[in-house]
Structure 1
Amino acid sequence: MNERFNKLRQYNTSGLGCWVSLIIFALIVGKIGLGGVVSGFLILIALFFLVPVIGFWGFQWWLKQKITQAQCPVCEYEFTGLKNTEFNCPSCGESLRVEGDRFTRMTPPGTIDVDAVEVSVQRIEEEN
């Protein structure tokens, strides 16, 4: 291609953005006044600082509603879990589910849980 043709098609728009910004600012000031522009700018700055703080507090509240801290029913290891989820105990690996404010084992229907009781051994001697 001809290089002179390419140079003719190029436009120099380096100062155009500044002029467009000034014209838009002048139109806004003319329409709502300088007091409205300053008030809007101050409101924008206030929102810039308040929205993250309110968002952080809202996230903490949501997290408190969704997290349960309880003990594993098998090994009694205390940890936290999200409500309405299923997971494994980090200590013993038992499959658990959060129901209310406690953890319950996930067992197939018809499974009977039995608590083992330690029985001390006694030696009975026979009398003859």
Structure 2
Amino acid sequence: MNNRFNKLLQYDFSGLGCWLTIIAIALLTSSVGLGWIINGFFILVALAFIAPILIFWGVQWWLKLNFVQDNCPVCNYEFTGFKNSEFQCPSCSEPLKVTDGHFARITPPGIIDVDAVEVSVQQIDE
């Protein structure tokens, strides 16, 4: 009979509602002037990608400025300490402080810290 009319009724328009909603939202935001919402969303998305990179770079820079890696002057154990702080060596428990980028012993007042120098013995022939 009339097969063409039955085929017209069989078309599926289920995906059309989604597209109409997107077009309606776009028209509404452009006509009302709510473009700042979309701009704000894109800015938040950009910050979500850029912020972790900036934070990682900033933490690395801060660590380079505030950490000092050196050897203990007493036991020669290598470790890391904060600048402008006093701490103890984890190996020998000697109290230390950071001066000029190196570890130095903390000596009580009245005590002179002396470095011993080994002197070789020479015989003098007379």
Residue 91 of structure 1 is matched in structure 2 by 91
Letter of the 1:38 counterpart: I
In 2, the alpha carbon distance for the partners of 1:116 and 1:97 equals 21
SS in 2 for 1:90: coil
User: When the two structures are superposed, what TM-score results if normalisation uses the length of structure 2?
Assistant: 0.63
Residue 20 of structure 2 is matched in structure 1 by none
Residue 69 of structure 1 is matched in structure 2 by 69
Q: CA deviation at 1:70?
A: 0.8
Letter of the 1:86 counterpart: E
Unaligned runs of 5+ in 2: 1-24, 121-126
Cα 1:119–1:43 change in 2 (3 A) is: closer
- Residues 2-45 of structure 1, C-alpha deviations (whole Å, 9 max, x = no match): xxxxxxxxxxxxxxxxxxxxxxx9xx946533x43322211111
- Residues 95-117 of structure 1, C-alpha deviations (whole Å, 9 max, x = no match): 00011210111111221223446
Unaligned runs of 5+ in 1: 1-24, 121-128
SS in 1 for 2:111: coil
Residue 12 of structure 2 is matched in structure 1 by none
| CA radius of gyration, larger in | 2
Matched, 1:81 2:81: yes
In 2, the alpha carbon distance for the partners of 1:117 and 1:40 equals 69
Residue 32 of structure 1 is matched in structure 2 by 33
The 5 A counterparts of 1:1-128 are 29=29, 31-33=32-34, 35-116=35-116
SS in 2 for 1:50: helix
Work out the number of aligned pairs and report it: 94
In 2, the alpha carbon distance for the partners of 1:114 and 1:36 equals 70
Identity of aligned residues (%): 57
In 1, the alpha carbon distance for the partners of 2:94 and 2:32 equals 68
Q: CA deviation at 1:51?
A: 1.1
SS in 1 for 2:98: strand
CA RMSD of superposed structures (Å)? 2.6
In 1, the alpha carbon distance for the partners of 2:59 and 2:45 equals 22
Cα 1:117–1:100 change in 2 (3 A) is: closer
Residue 13 of structure 2 is matched in structure 1 by none
- Residues 36-62 of structure 1, C-alpha deviations (whole Å, 9 max, x = no match): 332221111111121121011101101
